[in-house]
Chains A and B, each alone.
Chain A
């Protein structure tokens, strides 16, 4: 501390504020020389800049200041706040300072005259890093929610289109083909028609699968349990993997967001078991307890060491956790090599919005 004569006596309370405040406080005289700095201020400014500030050398503050945020630029020195006349002073602005050991840090700054007679001005700084971090996280979450929602909506649209128009049209063509059977006795024609009917029936099946894979209509129309049952049947047909599904939610419906999160995470967890666990059965348990909707996906397969190098991209688990957190839930993955893997997803059910 440098108790300078210009500062004069302070009341004990003011002294404590000056000494212990987490905010950096600088006093400058009208020539731009630093009169006093509190410990928080001295902490962020490097030694040589500190000296220059007390000496009042020109542009001493520029040794640490990297610019402020104007309405046109993120970081600028144009119309420097330090040079402005008292009449045009900014009461509050965002400023970037090169700090000792922490690099460039954003601060909420204020710079104004406190003693018009002597031209004494005060420069106060509050670290904005935590606020900005929170804001950024909030923004990211919001974006992520939008992206997921847009993806689901687009999948829904495509799925409906395939199911309602493409599959429908094809179905009526198949029916026409069946009618053809009664219009001729020619064996070769009948055989050919039958082959075509078989091919078209399989094609129809493929389109329906595609539609369900994009987004099962059952999830929107009948809820989680129905969607799971048909999804698991498809996994069994495609990969021969048997899924033992126990549900304690019956036909209960939840918010569409929650249902989507549970469905997508389960899909991913089952696919992981299929890809990496080397098992031919997986058990899935869906139930409600203590206001939480819980999903357990368990296998007795190869398992893995937490934190070890993933065989795949490693993004799957990250994405699952991200989705769970966006819905206010949590995801726990417990795995042991040689014993198996257990994925537990818990999502709080908003009381009021519960639908029967």
Chain B
């Protein structure tokens, strides 16, 4: 319970600091949940739809980040995906995001989570914000150490 509060507080503070409309964290579930990846924490959300979604590695924005370990920077959702295939990005759609960035969160040299920050207006996500988001991810969040290379 204490841990749960920690993640949520960290997210809230980060949203305050950077001004995101929506900020969410996806994490790998424990063995009992078949290690699936789900959106566990969010702030600024319009609805609860994101909680129902199980992320597929390699599918959607967060899935891509999870699979490749690379950040995704989308200054304009409209330029990035055609309206007709927007349904493949259910969170972008239901949270009405227009610009966003997503970064991997490493733990012990593995991608263990995805941090996604977005705005409901185009071009509000900037390279500077992107850099700051990557920095935050590198410092780790909650119990995740943020380290891309194993420490030992």
Contacts and interface: CB of A to CB of B under 8 A. Distances in A.
Interface of A: 188, 191, 195, 197-199, 201-202, 205-206, 209, 236-242, 274-275, 278, 280, 311-312
A275 B35 contact: no
Interface string B51-84: 1111011000000000000000000000000011
B120 interface: no
A205 B52 contact: no
Interface residues of B, number: 25
Contacts of B31: 197-198, 201
Contacts of B131: none
A280 B49 CA distance: 8
A267 B48 CA distance: 24
A242 B94 CA distance: 13
Contacts of B13: none
Contacts of A240: 49-53, 90-91, 94
B84 A206 contact: no
A205 B90 CA distance: 21
Contacts of B57: 202, 206
A311 B84 contact: yes
Contacts of B49: 240, 280
B53 A205 contact: no
B149 to A, nearest CB: 14
A209 B84 CA distance: 24
Contact of B54 (A199, A238, A275): A238
Given A198-B35, A240-B51, A311-B83, 8 more contacts: A195-B110, A198-B31, A199-B35, A237-B53, A239-B53, A239-B90, A240-B53, A278-B93
Contacts of B47: 280
B53 A201 contact: no
B108 interface: yes
Contacts of B36: 202, 205
Contact of B28 (A198, A236, A242, A275): A198
A274 B34 contact: no
A311 B84 CA distance: 7
B84 A312 contact: yes
Nearest to A203: B57
11 contacts: A197-B31, A198-B28, A198-B31, A202-B35, A238-B56, A240-B51, A274-B87, A275-B84, A280-B47, A280-B94, A311-B84
Most buried by B among A205, A239, A280, A312: A239
